[in-house]
Amino acid sequence: MGHKARGIFQIEGPAFMADTASLSVLQRMTKRARATPAADRGAGARRAFQRALRRAGAPFAGLVPEPGRDDVSWSLLIGDLLTGLPDGGLLTGLDAPHGARGLCLLQQPVVDALIEVQTTGRVDPVQGPDRPFTKIDIALTKDFIELLLSAFAAELDGVQGVDWPRRMSFGGPLADRRQLPLLMPDAAYHQFEVELSLGEGAKTGKVLLIVPAGSGSAAAQQAARSALDPAWQTAFRQTIVGAEVDLDVILMRRVRSLAELERLAPGDLIPFEAADLANISLEDRNGRIVLRGRLGQQGGRRAVRLTTEPATRSPGSSAEAAPPPDPAPAPPGDGQDPGMPEAAGRQIPGPDGSDPAARPIA
């Protein structure tokens, strides 16, 4: 007597989502057969990844990473891979040759332990609440990830059946996981997952390393096909052009001691050189300079003219050396900006103790 397999499908927007119970036995069998590695590769790669984790943690005094339970999944499709990613944690992209990409995920306890050993010298057994990761968090974990990638490549010597790029590099944090289907080529991936004991059991967290299968060749070919596909390009552009980008216009930066900052009061003046007006930078939230420009006027109002090249600033630059501002109607009165009354406050001396009154102020 035969049995019929039934599936339940629900329409959500433009896509169809199948209930997990609808996966046929045949589909699971073929997937498991495709994902079964050679015995030597499976055992050898597991041991290599565990040794790499120990080597990556060795320079961090007090971290003492000790691998525990581990799991390796072979030849995962991109959809299954992204669906199975654990929530939370610091997710970073990895760059591989020929345009291939990978991922590395450090769960919150692992990130906290890395920060603690570099700031306090030990792993705190108290686990803090989940929080957004900062640029400092990323900077303090980047070395561990790069050491892990380098150590894993070295430990794979002699392991048979390695069909993924051995040399990969840190690519940067990935805060919005919704963009992963666009960033990751539609190829097969291997996933290494290990639960780490840190600080001699003070904390426990997982480390996931996801590498492109096929030495990156399949991923590279798919990436090249996607880049040449007009429909893919259009969909990609429509996805990203609506994203908001925060830009800061930076006039200047000054270094002051904490004592000087404490003495600052309303009405104090911080002098700057006239050349600063010709070397304004537009920076993203990570501090990377996107464009440069110079401060001028347009229609009697302050404006920034964007330039293709940063203005050259020499140590002896002065008001006469600075490029003139954009031509514009002169402000009323004696040329002083009506919104900037004559200041009567104290002027803050420079870091070298020089008199700011002796220096030109734009």
Summarize pLDDT for 295-338 with one digit per residue, the tens.
888 888 888 888 865 444 443 433 333 344 444 444 444 444 43
The pLDDT assigned to 95 comes to 93
Summarize pLDDT for 130-147 with one digit per residue, the tens.
889 999 999 999 999 999
The pLDDT assigned to 344 comes to 42
Q: How confident is the model at residue 222 (pLDDT cuts 50, 70, 90)?
A: low
Phi, psi (degrees; rounded to nearest 5) at 154:
-70, -40
Q: What is the dihedral of CA 65, 70, 72, 78, to 10 degrees?
A: -80
Across the beta sheet with 169-173, the strand order is 66-77, 188-198, 203-212, 101-106, 90-95, 169-173
Pick the CATH number of 11-240 from 3.20.20.70, 3.40.50.1820, 3.40.1550.10, 3.40.50.300: 3.40.1550.10
Concatenated DSSP letters of 163-229: -S-S--EEEEE---GGGHHHHS-SSEEEEEEEEEEETTTTEEEEEEEEEESSTTHHHHHHHHHHHH-
Rounded Cα gap, residues 15 and 9, in angstroms:
10
Tokens of residue 352, six digits:
């070298």
